[in-house]
Structure 1
Amino acid sequence: MGRDLELRTATPEDLDWIHELRHRVYARELGQHPPDPAGRLRDGLDGDNVYLVAARGPARIGFVSLTPPWVGRFGLDKYLTRDELPVLAGHDVFEVRILTVEPRWRTTSAAPLLMYAALRWIASRGGRRVVAMGRTEVLDMYRAVGLRTVGRTVRSGAVTFEVLTGGVPELTRRARERYGSALERLRSAVDWRLDMPFAPRPDGCEHGGASFTALGTDFRTLHRRRDIVMADVLDAWFPPAPGVRAALADDPAWAARTSPPSGAEGLSEQIATARELPPDTLAVGAGSSDLIFRAFGRRLTPRSRVLLTDPCYGEYAHVTERVVGCRVDRFPLRREDGWRIDPERLAAAVHSGRYDLVVVVNPNNPTGRHAPAAGLRALIGAAPDRTHWWIDEAYLGYVGLDESLAGLAATDPRVTVCTSLSKMYALSGLRAAYAVAEPSTAAELRRWTPPWTVGLPAQMAAVAALRDPGYYRDRWLATHALRRRLAADLAEAAPDVSVEESVANFLSLTLPPGGPSAARLVEECRRHGVYLRDLSPLSPRYEGRTVRVAVRDTAENARIVAACRAALDVLRPAPAAPVAQSLGAAGTAR
Structure 2
Amino acid sequence: MGGHILQLRVATPEDLQWIYGLRHRVYAQELGQHAPDPGGQLRDGLDGENVYLVAARGAARIGFVSVTPPWLGRYALDKYLTRDELPLLGRSDVFEVRILTVEPRWRTTAAALLLMYAALRWIAARGGRQVVAMGRTDLLDMYVSAGLSPVGHTVRSGALTFEVLTASVSDLTNCAMDRYRTTLKRLGSVVDWQLDMPFATRPDGCEHGGASFTAIGADFRTLHRRQQIVAADVLDAWFPPAPGVRAALAEDPAWAARTSPPTGAEGLLAEIATARGLPTESLAVGAGSSDLIFRAFGQWLTPESRVLLMDPGYGEYAHVTERVIGCRVDRFPLRREDSWRIDPDRLSAVVRAGHYDLVVVVNPNNPTGRHAPAAELRSLIAASPARTRWWIDEAYLGYVDLTESLAGLAATDPRVVVCSSLSKMYALSGMRAAYLVAEPLTAAQLRRWTPPWPLSLPAQLAAVAALRAPEYYSDCWLRTRSLRSRLARDLAGLDEALVVEESVANFLTVTLPSGGPSAAQLVNECHRHDVYLRDLSPLSPQYEGRTVRIAVKGADENARIVTACKAALNVLGGRRELTRAAGGRAPRI
- Post-superposition Cα deviations, 1:398-453, rounded to whole Å, max 9, x if no partner, equal 00000000000000000000000000000000000000000000000111000001
Aligned to 2:331: 330
Aligned to 1:418: 419
Aligned to 1:241: 242
TM-score, normalised to structure 2, is 0.98
Distance in structure 1 (CA, Å) of the matches to 2:178 and 2:445: 36
Distance in structure 1 (CA, Å) of the matches to 2:12 and 2:503: 36
Distance in structure 2 (CA, Å) of the matches to 1:408 and 1:389: 11
Aligned to 1:23: 24
Counterpart residue identity of residue 577, structure 2: A
Distance in structure 2 (CA, Å) of the matches to 1:12 and 1:238: 48
User: 1:353·1:386 contact (CA, 8 Å) conserved in 2?
Assistant: no
Change beyond 3 A, Cα 1:350–1:272:
same
Q: Does 1:356 align with 2:357?
A: yes
Distance in structure 1 (CA, Å) of the matches to 2:487 and 2:350: 37
Counterpart residue identity of residue 574, structure 1: E
Aligned to 1:561: 562
- Post-superposition Cα deviations, 1:369-411, rounded to whole Å, max 9, x if no partner, equal 0000000000000000000000000000000000000000000
Distance in structure 2 (CA, Å) of the matches to 1:353 and 1:8: 42
Distance in structure 2 (CA, Å) of the matches to 1:176 and 1:80: 32
- Post-superposition Cα deviations, 1:466-522, rounded to whole Å, max 9, x if no partner, equal 001000000000000000000000011222211110000000010000000000000
- Post-superposition Cα deviations, 1:58-93, rounded to whole Å, max 9, x if no partner, equal 011100000000000000000000011111111000
Distance in structure 2 (CA, Å) of the matches to 1:578 and 1:43: 23
Counterpart residue identity of residue 12, structure 1: P
- Post-superposition Cα deviations, 1:125-163, rounded to whole Å, max 9, x if no partner, equal 000000000001100000001100011001000010000
Aligned to 2:159: 158
Within a 5 Å distance, the mapping from 1:60-79 to structure 2 comes to 60-79=61-80
Aligned to 2:320: 319
Distance in structure 1 (CA, Å) of the matches to 2:190 and 2:5: 7
SS of structure 2 residue aligned to 1:151: strand
Aligned to 2:112: 111
Distance in structure 1 (CA, Å) of the matches to 2:354 and 2:15: 51
SS of structure 1 residue aligned to 2:296: helix
Deviates more, 1:173-182 or 1:128-137: 173-182
Distance in structure 2 (CA, Å) of the matches to 1:398 and 1:384: 31
TM-score, normalised to structure 1, is 0.98
Alpha-carbon shift at residue 12 of structure 1 (Å):
1.1
Within a 5 Å distance, the mapping from 1:246-395 to structure 2 comes to 246-395=247-396
Distance in structure 1 (CA, Å) of the matches to 2:240 and 2:425: 11
Distance in structure 2 (CA, Å) of the matches to 1:353 and 1:336: 24
User: 1:305·1:356 contact (CA, 8 Å) conserved in 2?
Assistant: yes
Aligned to 2:577: 574
Aligned to 2:85: 84
Aligned to 1:463: 464
Alpha-carbon shift at residue 312 of structure 1 (Å):
0.5
Distance in structure 1 (CA, Å) of the matches to 2:137 and 2:353: 40
Distance in structure 1 (CA, Å) of the matches to 2:251 and 2:197: 46
Change beyond 3 A, Cα 1:353–1:524:
closer
Aligned to 1:232: 233
SS of structure 1 residue aligned to 2:417: strand
Distance in structure 1 (CA, Å) of the matches to 2:52 and 2:451: 50
User: 1:310·1:333 contact (CA, 8 Å) conserved in 2?
Assistant: yes
Alpha-carbon shift at residue 4 of structure 1 (Å):
2.1
Aligned to 1:148: 149
Counterpart residue identity of residue 533, structure 2: L
4+ aligned runs moved over 6 Å, structure 1 = none
Distance in structure 2 (CA, Å) of the matches to 1:80 and 1:484: 48
SS of structure 2 residue aligned to 1:568: helix
Distance in structure 2 (CA, Å) of the matches to 1:352 and 1:142: 35
Deviates more, 1:515-524 or 1:490-499: 490-499
Alpha-carbon shift at residue 577 of structure 1 (Å):
4.3
Alpha-carbon shift at residue 580 of structure 1 (Å):
4.2
- Between Structure 1 and Structure 2, how many residues are aligned? 581
Counterpart residue identity of residue 390, structure 1: W
User: 1:358·1:390 contact (CA, 8 Å) conserved in 2?
Assistant: yes
Within a 5 Å distance, the mapping from 1:191-206 to structure 2 comes to 191-206=192-207
Aligned to 1:521: 522
Distance in structure 2 (CA, Å) of the matches to 1:348 and 1:33: 47
Distance in structure 2 (CA, Å) of the matches to 1:364 and 1:431: 20
Alpha-carbon shift at residue 324 of structure 1 (Å):
0.5
Alpha-carbon shift at residue 579 of structure 1 (Å):
4.3
Alpha-carbon shift at residue 205 of structure 1 (Å):
0.2
Within a 5 Å distance, the mapping from 1:502-517 to structure 2 comes to 502-517=503-518
- Post-superposition Cα deviations, 1:2-23, rounded to whole Å, max 9, x if no partner, equal 3421000001111100101001
Aligned to 1:45: 46
Task: Structure 2 unaligned segments of length 5 or more: list them.
Answer: none
- Post-superposition Cα deviations, 1:168-195, rounded to whole Å, max 9, x if no partner, equal 0011011001111111000001110100
Counterpart residue identity of residue 163, structure 1: V
Distance in structure 2 (CA, Å) of the matches to 1:116 and 1:580: 27
User: 1:353·1:384 contact (CA, 8 Å) conserved in 2?
Assistant: no
Aligned to 1:588: none
Aligned to 2:103: 102
User: 1:500·1:508 contact (CA, 8 Å) conserved in 2?
Assistant: yes
Counterpart residue identity of residue 428, structure 1: S
- Post-superposition Cα deviations, 1:510-557, rounded to whole Å, max 9, x if no partner, equal 000000000000000000000000000000000000000000000000
User: 1:3·1:188 contact (CA, 8 Å) conserved in 2?
Assistant: no
Alpha-carbon shift at residue 43 of structure 1 (Å):
1.5
Aligned to 1:454: 455
SS of structure 2 residue aligned to 1:34: coil
Distance in structure 1 (CA, Å) of the matches to 2:99 and 2:571: 32
Aligned to 1:436: 437
Aligned to 1:533: 534
Alpha-carbon shift at residue 358 of structure 1 (Å):
0.2
Distance in structure 2 (CA, Å) of the matches to 1:224 and 1:21: 50
User: 1:311·1:332 contact (CA, 8 Å) conserved in 2?
Assistant: yes
Counterpart residue identity of residue 289, structure 1: S
Counterpart residue identity of residue 232, structure 1: D
Aligned to 1:585: none
Task: Structure 1 unaligned segments of length 5 or more: list them.
Answer: 582-590
Alpha-carbon shift at residue 123 of structure 1 (Å):
0.3
User: 1:49·1:67 contact (CA, 8 Å) conserved in 2?
Assistant: yes
Distance in structure 1 (CA, Å) of the matches to 2:430 and 2:14: 49
User: 1:124·1:536 contact (CA, 8 Å) conserved in 2?
Assistant: yes
Counterpart residue identity of residue 103, structure 1: P
Distance in structure 1 (CA, Å) of the matches to 2:327 and 2:222: 41
Distance in structure 2 (CA, Å) of the matches to 1:235 and 1:127: 28
SS of structure 2 residue aligned to 1:20: helix
Distance in structure 2 (CA, Å) of the matches to 1:508 and 1:353: 31
Aligned to 1:500: 501
SS of structure 1 residue aligned to 2:553: coil
- Post-superposition Cα deviations, 1:323-374, rounded to whole Å, max 9, x if no partner, equal 1110000000011110000001100100125100000000000000000000
SS of structure 2 residue aligned to 1:43: coil
Deviates more, 1:408-417 or 1:490-499: 490-499
Root-mean-square deviation over aligned CA pairs: 0.9
Distance in structure 2 (CA, Å) of the matches to 1:408 and 1:453: 25
